[in-house]
Every structure is written in structure tokens, then in C-alpha cells.
Structure 1
């Protein structure tokens, strides 16, 4: 068997074996399915009252498979904020024109601390990218530059760690998941 074929088989098998890991016996679910009311491409968090797009911007909701198709688009922070406005100005989504980038507390509210790789409820938010911008500035400058909070739903490859918040500079490229409501 050629080296190329063996490499392709290895890559396919390693991708297929990648799966979310959940500590269902040790940690209670923080975002159980019954907390949400799904309406196709959107879901309502019955605890917070927020309405979320189930897919990241650039992904497409598939009604047949109940999945988010595609990888989604990445934006720097300023373009992420502009994308939400552009989408609303161009007719919105599902008859709503008040979608926005969530603040860091809102993003943290959908982290599933029971699971990692990724740390999100995959039934509610299928096929998620890992890092999402928030609308929350860090609140102070680091080395003369402003920082922005983001949520990382990937956790840690080397040891159990659920999703977490962190900050970076606004030129980094991350995904966005839009929300509406207060």
C-alpha cells in the first residue's frame, strides 16, 4: 500500500474517531436539551430568554439532517460587529432584524461544562466551530492595544478542561454566533 493511501486512511480514521467527551457521571449538564426550545435554525434558551442562531455565521442550517453545514466564516472583531449589522439591514434572519454579537456572559451561558472537545451541547448547536467573538471589550489596554473577550468551546486536548473565556486583540479571526433578546 502506498504511503499516500496509508496517510489518507489514517487521516480519515483519526477524523472519524474524534468525538466529544462528556463527564456525565461526575458533572451535571449545564445546558440540557430541555432548557432549549428548538425552532429549526433558531433555539430559545428558556433559562435566559435569549434566542440564538443554531449555526455560526457562514454555516447553513439543514432541516433534513438538523445540522449546520459548512465551516462558517471567520471575522476580525470589527468585521464581526459589522456583519451583524449588515445581516439585519439586509432583511435579518427568520423575520428578526435585531441580531447581535453576544456579550461574554451570554456566550458563557451556553458553555456545556460537562463536556469538552467541544464544550457545547451538540444537539442544540451542531457542528460548531471552536472560538467565537463576544461584543465585550477587555476594558483596558495591553501594550497600548485594546483587547476583546472571546469564548473558546474547544477545551483542552491534553487534560479535561471545558470551554473557557479568554481575550485577544481585535485583528484575530474568530467565528460569530448571533443572538437576540436581553
Structure 2
């Protein structure tokens, strides 16, 4: 229960205290037109042929407004994240089944390195908060001393070794055939 209040407080702070900052002098991380909002809770990346969940896991997508609402679920361990993504009720978006944790390269492909707080295109992923997101890539080299899996923190677009936010979230992905 205490964690739930912490997450809600952190979301309130992350949304209201920080404003996304983007540099126009930096080259674009993605091409114009690379992302397509399918208006079904998914975002298609035409360069990688990956279908992304518009919402973080735990949020609810509303078709009528094409928006995400609610509080994303935080997964404190790599194992918790892996287990969560085996639940088909969590990994089905609209009528699309088979979503999963992205690997480190896939998640890195949606990072917008021109921006911080959060380092992502908010036109397509509008409720992304300043927090780390899990990947399915195991940490075999001991990079993240506190984690068994690699994570990317969307606050500053970094693979991180510690998690000061107390939250680690999930954004699901699926390869299109």
C-alpha cells in the first residue's frame, strides 16, 4: 500500500515539476513519419517494424479519446517484470496478443536523444514518465549492480546502474509479421 502512494506521488511530481526539454541543435533520433499512431493503443514504428504499446503497463487505453490514463505498474525486480509479461491479460492490447518486453536495442530505438524529462516523443507516448523501463536483456556483465536485467531511464535517455526513482516500468512491444 505504501508503494502505491509513493508511485502516485512520484507521478504527480514527474508530471508537474518537470517540463520536457528538447534541443533543436541535436539531430533527430527518429525520422519524420517513422511512428504511426494506429489509434488502437499501439504505435507502429515503420523503420523497425515494431508495434509499441502507447501506454505503460498498468495504464488504461481509451479508444474514444486515444489517451492513456491511470497509474503505471512498477516492477521492482527483473523477475517480476518477466513474470508479468507472461500474463496474456496484460500482454494483449486491443485485439492484438503477443506483446512482450523489448530488448535493450528495441527500447533504445524509441528514445528521443534530443529531449529529456522524458526522453521520448510525447506526441506518440504522451504519458511516459521520468523513470526507468525494463528490457528483456539480462545483465550478464554486471552493469546494473542492483538489477538482473538492463533498463533505460527515460528521464535523461540513459542505461542506468541505479534507480533513484524507486519505480521501474514496462512498455510492451511486438514484432509485426
TM-score if structure 2 supplies the norm length?
A: 0.77
Report the 3-state secondary structure (helix = DSSP H, G, I; strand = E; otherwise coil) of the residue aligned with 1:78: helix
Partner of residue 4, structure 1? none
TM-score if structure 1 supplies the norm length?
A: 0.75
Q: How far apart are the structure 2 equivalents of 1:72 and 1:29? A: 28
Deviation of 1:32 (Å): 4.8
1:175 to 165, 169, 173: 169
Report the 3-state secondary structure (helix = DSSP H, G, I; strand = E; otherwise coil) of the residue aligned with 1:139: coil
Is 2:78–2:148's contact at 8 Å kept on the other side of the alignment? no
Deviation of 1:83 (Å): 1.4
Partner of residue 66, structure 1? 66
Q: How far apart are the structure 2 equivalents of 1:176 and 1:16? A: 21
Q: How far apart are the structure 2 equivalents of 1:140 and 1:63? A: 42
* CA separation of 1:77 and 1:98: change in aligned 2, threshold 3 A: same
Largest Rg, 1 or 2:
1
Partner of residue 86, structure 2? 85
Partner of residue 132, structure 1? 133
Partner of residue 52, structure 2? 52
Q: How far apart are the structure 2 equivalents of 1:30 and 1:107? A: 13
Q: Which runs of 5+ in 2 are unaligned?
A: 1-11
* CA separation of 1:33 and 1:70: change in aligned 2, threshold 3 A: farther
* CA separation of 1:102 and 1:133: change in aligned 2, threshold 3 A: same
**Is 2:29 aligned against 1:35?**
no
Report the 3-state secondary structure (helix = DSSP H, G, I; strand = E; otherwise coil) of the residue aligned with 1:106: helix
* CA separation of 1:173 and 1:21: change in aligned 2, threshold 3 A: closer
**C-alpha root-mean-square deviation of aligned residues, in Å?**
2.8
Q: How far apart are the structure 2 equivalents of 1:120 and 1:99? A: 20
> What's the CA shift string for 1:55-104, capped at 9, x where partnerless?
0111112344433212200112212111111125x782222221110001
